[in-house]
A and B are shown apart, each in its own frame.
Chain A
């Protein structure tokens, strides 16, 4: 039988797949008294203000909204609820759920819509409202994205899953708690420069190492935050981008992959196979390699996850992630700045909003609007969004239009 790999038709070598013409982000943190759909309006309004030539009711033909948990607000069906609150009733609106990669998957779906020709302009975003719940409840809701019959049933939490990846990584490669702590220190420094970050406080390696244990070896400051927030981008066909803005950001590579929901069923505990697969697809589509990336936003739900992301994305070899952070290569002034926004660690992690919040940061970086945390001369950006312990991964590669 002939094999037919449609993605092979998308070897674009830098040609745009679709273009981001605007983006918005709510402040990340605690939005007391605001319901998820209301928080989303904050992100949407910023996207409108950034793009005066966009007439949303006329132009936006479909809505894809990442939203992980109906438990937080006892509210599912978020696609239509959000569409209503941003004045787009009538447009096809769908909630996308892929755990913490919900809006990374929504972005991929937005690309499907634009590339199919069914919708010329789409709103892609995500939202989560979490802070009104206690830590035990949030821990339980997040755990729903892991395997119920063997992981949740045995009291294994999300920090627990990443902690097991950490012990395996420490055992196999000698990665240390101090190296993990350095990820947190870097991302808190970056977050201190981001006015929308939940935590804008510098921390030290000692702060991380002496913080309370959540799931050994992960301590409080190794873990991302419980956050309310929303994010969105407006996507269109590249040839239509100039109608809306003189300064679009092009998406030039996209990869998404699945793996077993249970961590215990994976071939490796020290790497995330879905992320490697998604990265390979995205790099191939873009005709680029890891050495071409100027700035990246990666899924640092836990510090060990950023170290493993470096390896899965090819920023260094397997087992060398700890050394990469130790040598300062990924700090804001390093060779390849990672998580200039502060990442999930300091900017915050409203799970459904995270994927497009990463795209928002890259949009700012590649249009020179990232202010104090601007990576100078950044042309190629990358986002890496994980769902669960890696059952979903979405990787996207972006190029500045002005370069």
Chain B
């Protein structure tokens, strides 16, 4: 990334464009933040360091969406889930490349940076998704 380090959602997505999943660790109290944030909610420090997370995780909840907001309607039905990553951190996302009857809690998944890119004009974020490991 260019210029001064910022610990923001925008910078999280800049790393996603580089196919990295980055969390921030508060250098004062050690709390991990995903997404990164500019002010530690635990100790109010503004000093952080980046931690790259493993791309592997496990499904802790999922659903298959049949009624979607307008911009996702063309994809239905599609699976989404909440994925447990290392250090207790979690992210939600679309799960691609799995038939819905194979979905189950505990399923091992990995990040996929290919399949889910959209055409939104704002924000200009890349979209990660998950696929079975």
Among the listed B35, B69, B77, which residue makes an inter-chain contact with A139, where contact means beta carbons less than 8 Å apart? B69
Per the bound structure, the CA–CA distance linking A193 and B19 in Å amounts to 56
Interface residues of A in 350-372 (CB under 8 A from B): none
Could you tell me if A157 and B92 are in contact, using CB atoms closer than 8 angstroms?
no
Could you tell me if A164 and B82 are in contact, using CB atoms closer than 8 angstroms?
yes
Per the bound structure, the CA–CA distance linking A135 and B65 in Å amounts to 14
Could you tell me if B61 and A155 are in contact, using CB atoms closer than 8 angstroms?
no
- With contacts A153-B125, A154-B127, A214-B66 taken as known, whether A136 is within 8 angstroms of B73 at the C-beta atoms is yes
Q: Is residue B50 contacting chain A, with contact meaning CB distance below 8 A? A: no
Could you tell me if B67 and A214 are in contact, using CB atoms closer than 8 angstroms?
yes
Could you tell me if B73 and A264 are in contact, using CB atoms closer than 8 angstroms?
no
Per the bound structure, the CA–CA distance linking A135 and B70 in Å amounts to 9
Interface residues of A in 130-179 (CB under 8 A from B): 135-137, 139-140, 143, 149-157, 159-160, 163-168, 171
Q: Is residue A216 contacting chain B, with contact meaning CB distance below 8 A? A: yes
Q: Is residue B53 contacting chain A, with contact meaning CB distance below 8 A? A: no
Interface residues of B in 97-133 (CB under 8 A from A): 100, 105, 116, 125, 127, 129
Interface residues of B in 45-70 (CB under 8 A from A): 60-70
In the complex, what residues of A have CB within 8 A of residue B78's CB? 155
Q: Is residue A265 contacting chain B, with contact meaning CB distance below 8 A? A: yes
Per the bound structure, the CA–CA distance linking A164 and B75 in Å amounts to 19
Q: Is residue B29 contacting chain A, with contact meaning CB distance below 8 A? A: no
Q: Is residue B93 contacting chain A, with contact meaning CB distance below 8 A? A: yes
* Distance between B51 CB and nearest chain A CB, rounded to angstroms: 17
Interface residues of A in 174-228 (CB under 8 A from B): 212-218
Among the listed B62, B69, B82, which residue makes an inter-chain contact with A157, where contact means beta carbons less than 8 Å apart? B69
In the complex, what residues of B have CB within 8 A of residue A149's CB? 9, 13, 35, 125
Among the listed A136, A143, A264, which residue makes an inter-chain contact with B91, where contact means beta carbons less than 8 Å apart? A264
* Distance between A372 CB and nearest chain B CB, rounded to angstroms: 33
Per the bound structure, the CA–CA distance linking A11 and B88 in Å amounts to 37
Per the bound structure, the CA–CA distance linking A277 and B129 in Å amounts to 34
Interface residues of A in 221-265 (CB under 8 A from B): 262-265
Could you tell me if A165 and B67 are in contact, using CB atoms closer than 8 angstroms?
no
Interface centre among B9, B61, B94 (most CB of A within 10 A): B61
* Distance between A151 CB and nearest chain B CB, rounded to angstroms: 6
Contacts from A to B (Cβ < 8 Å): 135-137, 139-140, 143, 149-157, 159-160, 163-168, 171, 212-218, 262-265, 269
**Can you list 8 A-B pairs with a CB-CB distance of less than 8 A?**
A149-B125, A150-B35, A154-B92, A155-B68, A155-B71, A159-B63, A216-B100, A218-B63
